[in-house]
Amino acid sequence: MILNINYKKHLPVIILLSILLIVGLFTYKTYGTYWDEYLQRDMGKISYNYLFHHNDALKSFMDKDYGVLIELPLYAIEVALFSNNYNASIEARHLCCFLIFFIGLIFFYALLIKLKFNRLWATIGTAMLVLSPRIYGHSFFNSKDIPFMVFYIIAFYTLLLLIQKQNHKYAILHAFASALLINVRITGIIIFPFTVLFLMVFATSNSLNYQQKIPWFKMFKILLMYLISCAVFIYLFWPFLWENPIDNFSTAYTNMSKFRWDGYGYLMGEKIRSINPPWYYLPKWIAITTPVFYLFAFAASVILFFGNLFKKRISFFKDFENLFQWMALSFLIVPVLAIIYLNSTLYDTWRHVYFIYPFLLVSGLYGLSTVSNKLLKYKLQWLITAISIFFLSYELLKMIKSHPYHYVYFNEIPGQKRNEIRQKNDVDFWGVSFKQAFEKLLELDPGLKVKIFADSSPAYSNYLSLNYHHKNCRLEFVDEESKADYYITNYRYYPNDHAAMKDKIFFSLEYANSEFITVFKLK
Average pLDDT over residues 75-80: 96
Average pLDDT over residues 465-474: 89
**Kind and range of the H or E element at 264?**
strand 264-267
| CA distances, 358 to each of 127, 131, 281 (Å) | 11, 12, 19
Q: Is the confidence at residue 342, as pLDDT, over 60? A: yes
Residue type, 357: Y
What is the C-alpha to C-alpha distance for residues 301 and 306, in angstroms, rounded to an integer?
Answer: 9
Average pLDDT over residues 68-77: 96
| Per-residue model confidence (pLDDT) at position 432 | 97
| CA distances, 225 to each of 188, 191, 218, 230 (Å) | 19, 15, 11, 8
Judge contact between 428 and 407, C-beta under 8 A: yes
Tens digits of per-residue pLDDT, 363-391? 999 999 999 998 888 888 899 999 999 99
Q: Is the confidence at residue 266, as pLDDT, over 60? A: yes
Express as a percent the part of the chain with pLDDT over 70.
98
Express as a percent the part of the chain with pLDDT over 90.
78
Map 24-61 to HEC letters: HHHHHHHCCCCCCHHHHHHHHHHHHHHHHCCCCHHHHC
Chain length of the chain: 523
Is residue 468 helix, strand or coil? helix
Nearest to 336 by CA among 310, 363, 309, 316: 363
Nearest to 130 by CA among 155, 102, 88: 102
Q: Is the dihedral of CA 314, 317, 321, 326 positive or negative?
A: positive
Cα 254 from chain centre: 23
How does residue 94 score in pLDDT terms, banded at 50, 70 and 90? very high
Nearest to 410 by CA among 36, 133, 217, 107: 133
| Per-residue model confidence (pLDDT) at position 1 | 46
Q: Is the confidence at residue 337, as pLDDT, over 70? A: yes
Residue 410 — left, alpha, or beta (φ > 0 → left; ψ -120 to 50 → alpha)? beta
What is the C-alpha to C-alpha distance for residues 74 and 79, in angstroms, rounded to an integer?
Answer: 9
What is the C-alpha to C-alpha distance for residues 71 and 50, in angstroms, rounded to an integer?
Answer: 14
Q: Is the confidence at residue 312, as pLDDT, over 60? A: yes
| Per-residue model confidence (pLDDT) at position 346 | 82
| CA distances, 469 to each of 91, 312, 489 (Å) | 9, 62, 22
Is residue 124 helix, strand or coil? helix
Q: Is the confidence at residue 344, as pLDDT, over 90? A: no
**Kind and range of the H or E element at 35?**
none
Bridge partner residues of 283 (DSSP): none
Judge contact between 511 and 409, C-beta under 8 A: yes
Judge contact between 403 and 509, C-beta under 8 A: no
Report the DSSP pairing between strands 264-267 and 270-273: antiparallel
Average pLDDT over residues 40-52: 94
Average pLDDT over residues 336-358: 91
| CA distances, 45 to each of 60, 256, 334 (Å) | 14, 21, 34
How does residue 425 score in pLDDT terms, banded at 50, 70 and 90? very high
What is the C-alpha to C-alpha distance for residues 278 and 274, in angstroms, rounded to an integer?
Answer: 9
What is the C-alpha to C-alpha distance for residues 177 and 221, in angstroms, rounded to an integer?
Answer: 19
Q: Is the confidence at residue 2, as pLDDT, over 60? A: no
- 319 vs 297, more confident: 297
Q: What do you get for the CA distance between the two ends of the chain, in Å?
A: 62
For 340, list phi and psi in degrees, rounded to 5: -65, -45
Tens digits of per-residue pLDDT, 137-192? 999 999 999 999 999 999 999 999 999 999 999 999 999 999 999 999 999 999 99
Is residue 506 helix, strand or coil? strand
| Per-residue model confidence (pLDDT) at position 258 | 64
Average pLDDT over residues 275-283: 92
Nearest to 189 by CA among 25, 307, 342: 342
| Per-residue model confidence (pLDDT) at position 411 | 94
- What is the chain's mean pLDDT, rounded? 93
What is the C-alpha to C-alpha distance for residues 505 and 500, in angstroms, rounded to an integer?
Answer: 10
What is the C-alpha to C-alpha distance for residues 408 and 405, in angstroms, rounded to an integer?
Answer: 6
Tens digits of per-residue pLDDT, 428-448? 999 999 999 999 999 999 999
- 431 vs 343, more confident: 431
Tens digits of per-residue pLDDT, 323-332? 999 999 999 9
Least confident of 169-178, 199-208, 217-226: 199-208
Angle between helices 145-164 and 357-374 in degrees, nearest 10: 50
